[in-house]
Chain A
């Protein structure tokens, strides 16, 4: 409404006649908002820095090892290979879990608390768009935090050794890293979103998820001690890795083709069987997505 003496045109509200589209990747707007929200938190960057530490140590370790082997070539036989060290850093990246917790616990729980679903679903987006958007808002940061340091360390090794020689020695390492880094990201994203969808407080989601991960880890460790090596070394190793966190590491080792050794000159460990681990993770991902999808509604649905 223009005031007397003000502009003739009504500047207060005009109808919007610009472009609008319901086609394309509608979920990307939701994912972008989640990623922006995560990047705005200072603690996120602290965790990113901490998640990079194992790979920085790896680079330092490589520099030290190359110095040792240049002095004493005989010592190189007992030295861990680069891929073993990379697998070790991957398996010890606990900080990735904390990044996932930071970005994933509130992804849907905070929306539940603020009744945001009514806002989302009153727009031209579907439940599927919302679900994919929320999954991607957790997946992308976790994937980036896992992938980028691995690529950084591997690129350093490639340049150190000579790119041609490195690639001929490890022809599938780069594609393997791209796949391996996606495993923790998709597992954490789906499970955290699934638990988050049924909660209203992010801390409750975090406590539940950490509880599940740690309890399962402890349970599998106790089980392997209980039945010991009687069932064969690969079966025992598979049981030891039969937890969410363990399966992520075990499957990653299998794809990378190497496992970390226990210290310098330690024995090479037997690989776990990848099939049960892959099935465990597939079931976990499916449960997470299903939990999430069942809960995403603009209205409370009363049955019975």
Chain B
């Protein structure tokens, strides 16, 4: 596993990573007939919200299916929440939730019956499952429509119902396969907010499989980039977006020529600037670059409003990873 970037701050908070992964695979190969879907894949999936990112056919869904015991790998080992994927699939499925990619539901049921039934199938007593079904549907904003038959639901509502059935038994790990499929922009934002809330405020580990970079960027702290059945890169979102260890983005209160001059005396150079935003290249030095930048600002009498490692878009980082 790649080391976690010590510089990375995402959306204003520091992601917490435990050294204990929620899932591990080693040398995993999965084939469908002659087609190799996942090839000799080794990775550790850390706690928190993790994105499985890759183009269609990269092997993301197959990896999830292998972790859940839906497909039997040809070679390799793996475990989810400490349970072996070959010998303890039922224990795994009791402790995880899956929101499948396909539109799926159990026909003939209302939402509350569907979610309660999912709870029963997960091993909950019926009375607990029914009570929990109401709670989870409320949380997924389907409280008002809970007594409607699922077949009358819109796509967005069906996606929420899928999420509710995955959450009903209180999973420790949630697999979300393309969770924003078929949603309009508003529905998509709401779904991403829900995912973010579940993973960051409710303490549920989440693995989001998606080919949509903005979805991963908005919800995940850690990303595993896959292509052609292999892991191309795995790192924190901040780490993968970092351009290099020597470039920094600085925002001053107002533009300052004196600041640029002061930076050059500290071994730095200006790469580009826009108004009061500056991207600097700092040479290697015993003194940390951040300290030298603050020293330059003080010398120039400029007020630093923000300072962070220079970042690129996740799209650029993704394209570089899969090339």
A: which residues have CB within 8 A of B?
1, 12-22, 26, 29-30, 33, 37, 106, 110-111, 113-116, 118-126, 297-299, 301-304
Contact = CB atoms under 8 A, between A and B. Distances in A.
Nearest to B132: A16
A17 B108 contact: no
**Top-10 shortest CB links A-B:** A16-B170, A115-B104, A123-B121, A122-B98, A20-B123, A302-B32, A124-B94, A13-B139, A298-B70, A124-B90
A21 B95 CA distance: 11
Contact of B123 (A22, A118, A299, A301): A22
Contact of B93 (A33, A124, A303): A124
B25 interface: no
A21 B71 contact: no
Contact of A20 (B68, B98, B106, B169): B169
Nearest to B175: A122
Nearest to A297: B70
Contacts of A17: 170
A111 B102 contact: no
Contacts of A18: 124-125, 128, 132, 170
Contacts of B68: 122, 298
B156 interface: no
B315 interface: no
Residue among B34, B104, B121, B139 with most chain A CB within 10 A:
B121
Given A29-B117, A119-B118, A13 B202 contact: yes
Given A111-B107, A122-B97, 11 more contacts: A13-B139, A15-B203, A17-B170, A29-B120, A33-B106, A114-B105, A116-B105, A124-B91, A298-B65, A299-B65, A304-B33
A29 B71 CA distance: 24
Contact of B104 (A13, A26, A116): A116
Contact of B169 (A16, A30, A111, A120): A16
B197 interface: yes
24 contacts: A12-B138, A13-B135, A13-B139, A13-B197, A13-B202, A16-B124, A16-B168, A16-B169, A19-B128, A20-B124, A21-B123, A22-B91, A114-B105, A114-B106, A115-B104, A116-B106, A118-B98, A119-B100, A122-B68, A123-B118, A124-B90, A124-B121, A125-B121, A299-B65
Contacts of B124: 16, 18-20
Contact of A122 (B93, B136, B202): B93
Nearest to A299: B70
A285 B172 CA distance: 41
Nearest to B150: A114
Interface string B117-156: 1101111110010001001101100000000000000000
Interface residues of B, number: 48
B322 to A, nearest CB: 25
Contacts of B104: 114-116, 118-119
B302 to A, nearest CB: 38
B139 A12 contact: yes
Contacts of A121: 70
B36 to A, nearest CB: 12
B165 interface: yes
Contacts of A15: 170, 202-204
B32 A115 contact: no
Contacts of B33: 302-304
Contact of A33 (B117, B165, B169): B117
B35 interface: yes
A189 to B, nearest CB: 19
Contacts of A22: 90-91, 94, 123
A91 B201 CA distance: 64
B189 interface: no
Residue among B33, B34, B98, B106 with most chain A CB within 10 A:
B106
A117 to B, nearest CB: 8
Interface string B199-220: 0011110000000000000000
B32 to A, nearest CB: 4
